[in-house]
Amino acid sequence: MNFTQSAFFVLLAFAIAAVAVTTRGDIRKVIILGCSFVFYGWWDWRFLGLVLVSTTIDFLAGLLIESSRRSDDQHTAKLGLGVAVAANLLILGVFKYFDFFSLSIAAAFGQIGIKVDPVLLHVVCRSAFLFTPFTQ
């Protein structure tokens, strides 16, 4: 699904209406999360596991940060944030740029006369999909 398809506008209308009629904040969050999963799963359902992993990492990091701030433990809060950012960058690196770097390294070795067969994952992920953890 992309922003020009009619399915997007149907999903958007549903999300806006459902959030508007719901008064409980926790239910609103579930609606928005569910709509996000539908949006990204529409493009390729196989990446929903990746979205779930990323969301879980960010949620757990958020709980750790909140708990650490309540006990005035800034070190643990910063550690939780750092782990979440590092995990999301690792996911981004593997699922978006692994093939690029593998081909680049093989080409660089080829320039100095060393033949290297690149290892390729052949995974294509949308950039917007991979940056969603940073906005959650």
pLDDT digits (tens, 9 = 90+) for 64-98: 999 999 999 999 999 999 999 999 999 888 888 88
Yes or no: say if 121 and 98 are a contact pair by the CB < 8 Å rule: yes
The reported pTM is: 0.73
Q: Is the pLDDT of residue 107 over 60?
A: yes
Same domain, 89 and 110: yes
d(C-alpha 46, C-alpha 129), whole Å: 13
Q: What is the pLDDT of residue 31?
A: 95
HSE value, Cβ hemisphere, 13 Å, CA-based, for 55:
15
Q: How open is the CA angle 54-58-64, to the nearest 5 degrees? A: 145
Same domain, 79 and 124: yes
Specify whether 39 is located in the same domain as 50.
Answer: no
Residue 65 sits in which domain range? Answer: 44-135
Query: How far is residue 85's CA from residue 83's CA, in Å, rounded to a whole number?
Result: 6
Asked whether residue 51 falls in the same domain as residue 39, the answer is no
Total number of domains in the chain? 2
Residue 31 and residue 52 in one domain: no
Residue 34 pLDDT greater than 60, yes or no: yes
Residue 134's pLDDT is what? 47
